[in-house]
Amino acid sequence: MKNTSEEIITQQKPSSIRTMFDAIAPTYDLLNHLMSFGMDIRWRKKAIRYFLEKRNGVILDIASGSGDVALGILRQQPASIIAADFSINMLNVFREKLKGHPAENPVSFICCDALALPIKDESVDGTIVAFGIRNFADRLLGLQEMYRVLKPNGISVILELTTPTSPIPVAFYSLYTRYLLPVLGKIISRSMAAYSYLPQSISTFPSADEFSNLMTQAGFNDVRLESLSFGSATLFVGRKR
């Protein structure tokens, strides 16, 4: 018997999540645009700006997916970017996008679990997770892994979809994600379960204060957050002293 989207949320099985992302990889970019009403493009730009201070550094893009974040960071001319994701199909979509960029672009790919990064301690200048950490089976362990691989004075940026804070956006977003988005998902990718799971996973994500405390618990200093578009997304930033 197949798991329902609600069961996947509860169990958060890595194998189930990986299978889901492998299946929707070709339409994942469209999914993000639909879920955010196109605002995800602007939100990513805000997140990427934090890495301007790490020009010529090594940046790790965790849950890199189809690579939109990494492509944005490439414009800042880092020494290199490591794109890590546990869905090989998502990374293949990213590889296709790179074909339109110079051959010498400094991107390497790792298909791995974010909870066990095959990367040396204190070896990267920055890490970023965009729209991915809510799918981690153990968010604290994921944060601890980010902290482990950061060099001293490194920065970690997390961009995540969150529940809007204003009453009108909350009501509209709830109706849209509960009823319309799954139907669109079935039409676009033939995967209603995936398009039901992803919006529902937002409701299970901790509050902004709770997640900030989780980052502090993982070891990060100077943790701060930035609410975007009435709380529809939140930027979390932490540093390693």
Which CATH number do you get for residue 128? 3.40.50.150
Number of domains in the chain: 1
pLDDT band at 173 (very low <50, low <70, confident <90, very high): confident
Rama region for 37: left / alpha / beta (φ>0; ψ in -120 to 50; rest): left
Q: pTM for the full model?
A: 0.88
Q: What is the pLDDT of residues 139-149, one digit of tens each?
A: 999 999 999 99
Query: Taking the CB of residue 10, how many other CB atoms lie within 10 A of it?
Result: 11
Domain presence at residue 60: yes
CA atoms of 30 and 225, how far apart (whole Å): 26
CA atoms of 85 and 99, how far apart (whole Å): 19
Please state the φ and ψ torsions of residue 195, each to the nearest 5 degrees: -75, -10
* Res. 33: pLDDT tops 90: no
Domain of residue 93, residue span: 14-164+204-239
Domain presence at residue 213: yes
Average pLDDT, whole number, for the chain? 87
Under 8 Å CB-to-CB from 19, ≥6 apart: which residues?
Answer: none
CA atoms of 96 and 90, how far apart (whole Å): 10
pLDDT band at 159 (very low <50, low <70, confident <90, very high): very high
Top mean-pLDDT range of 10-19, 212-221, 229-238: 212-221
